[in-house]
Structure 1
Amino acid sequence: MAETVDRERIAAAVRELLRAIGSDPDSAELASTPFRVADAYSEFFSGVGQDPMQHLVDSVPVGDETGELVMLRDIELRSVCEHHLLPFRGRAHIAYRPGDRIVGLSALPKVVETLAARPQVQERLGQQIVDALESGLAPEGVLVVLEASHGCVADRGVRQTEAVTVTVASSGALAQPAARSEVMALIGGAAGRHSSGANR
């Protein structure tokens, strides 16, 4: 994959930021900080410019041999909110009703990771995961539930350290109320009891 993050520019920007808050970036304590931040940002934003569809190219035909639903719960999720560049983290739950093709289960966390590794908002991320699966697998329906705690809610402003945001995005057959409720029950927990989201 091509490197999209310019570490030198990030380090220079962090040095300026440290000066702007009244700190000395040349002090012994902070001298290495700009480069550490650059390395961290390179990891946090490695999905910028990357295509999540690359993880779905090895799908295989299944015809009538598959079941009614494929679900992967509790995928670890980490991203950075585009509003304050503070992290949010939690879990993603993905379900899809196969059409003619399925993909290896490890591909689903890779899709989540690629889309999450860029400045994001949780509401958009869920829909982007749905769109990727729709384009890559042409399933009969997709449901994505994200549960995450946000630094911009926990560490600034209202400082609600225990608040969890739940979003739902769905398409096709899994956007229908009965099917959607069945999948939400399988997911269980907070995602099954409280949800807000976007259907199409």
Structure 2
Amino acid sequence: MAVDRERVAGLVRELLEAIGEDPDRPGLKATPGRVADAYGEFFAGIGQDASAPLAHTISIAHGPAPETSPSGAVMLRDIQFRSVCEHHLLPFRGRAHIAYLPGDQVVGLGALPKVVDILASRPQVQERLGEQIADAIADAIDTRGVLVVLDAAHGCVTMRGERQHEASTVTIAARGALADPAARAELIALIGAGRE
């Protein structure tokens, strides 16, 4: 379902009036349409199948190098994402780090950011977002384990209330063999490697 931009624009106009502003003044006249366009982007993931980017897999055992067998993890670090907190409708943004232990299948690395983008493009909470990413990967491809670490700054923390400008939130979601903290310790260390 696509965002109803016309309806959003009308509601933003009402909101501007409700906070005591004049939606017809020059600086605000185009704001309802701009917000409607932004919401079209922010919430484009609603109704999309997050596992669709994972549909094309590559068999390790029967692929271009059949003597290759899965051993270690595949990790993609620093996937930038943005989302909107469902509690205050304020943005949060950060980086996702995804690792999985392949079974017989791997996916193209470009598929992982697409999964993140689809799931982040909905009203979200960070804790659920990480779990949904882990589930999408674990359910769609043959893995022995999945690890998703999200590190994000939330507008509801940095811009309101106590205004902790430098605060970020880190969440971990793990499946399979990587649900064991000892098994994922090396991967957690690799996420931070080379950052000093």
TM-score by length of 2: 0.93
Equivalent position of 2:119 in the other structure: 115
Tell me the distance in 1 between the aligned counterparts of 2:26 and 2:59.
59
Residues 52-131 of structure 1: matches in 2 within 5 Å?
Answer: 52-63=50-61, 65-131=69-135
Runs of 4+ in 1 over 6 A off after TM superposition: none
Match of 2:15 in 1: 17
- Give the count of matched residue pairs: 188
Partner amino acid, structure 2, of 1:125: L
Where structure 1 has 5 or more consecutive residues not aligned to the other structure, the ranges are 190-200
Cα distance in 2 for partners of 1:142, 1:115 equals: 16
1:1-200 matches, within 5 Å, as 4-63=2-61, 65-188=69-192
Specify every segment of 5 or more residues in structure 2 that has no aligned partner in the other structure, as ranges: 62-67
Cα offsets for 1:163-192 (capped at 9, x unmatched): 010000001101112211111111126xxx
Over residues 52-80 of structure 1, what are the superposed CA-to-partner deviations in whole Å (9 max), with x where a residue is unaligned? 11100111111353341100000001101
Q: Secondary structure, in 3 states, of the residue corresponding to 2:97?
A: strand
CA distance in 1, matches of 2:92, 2:106: 30
Q: Retained in 1: the 8 A contact 2:134–2:175?
A: yes
Q: Which moved more, 1:94-103 or 1:56-65?
A: 56-65
AA aligned opposite 1:119: P
Distance in 2, Cα, partners of 1:143 & 1:24: 48
Question: What is the aligned-residue identity percentage?
Answer: 64
TM-score (ref. length: structure 1)? 0.91
Distance in 2, Cα, partners of 1:168 & 1:128: 11
Residue 104 of structure 2 aligns with an amino acid whose one-letter code is: D
Whole-angstrom CA distance in 2 between matches of 1:33 and 1:113: 25
Residues in 2 aligned to 1:54 and 1:17: alpha-carbon distance in whole angstroms = 36
Structure (1/2) with the larger helix percentage: 1
Instruction: Indicate the larger mover: 66-75 or 115-124.
Output: 66-75
Within 1, Cα distance between the matches of 2:7 and 2:109? 37
CA distance in structure 2 between the partners assigned to 1:138 and 1:118 by the alignment: 27
Aligned residue identity for 2:3: V
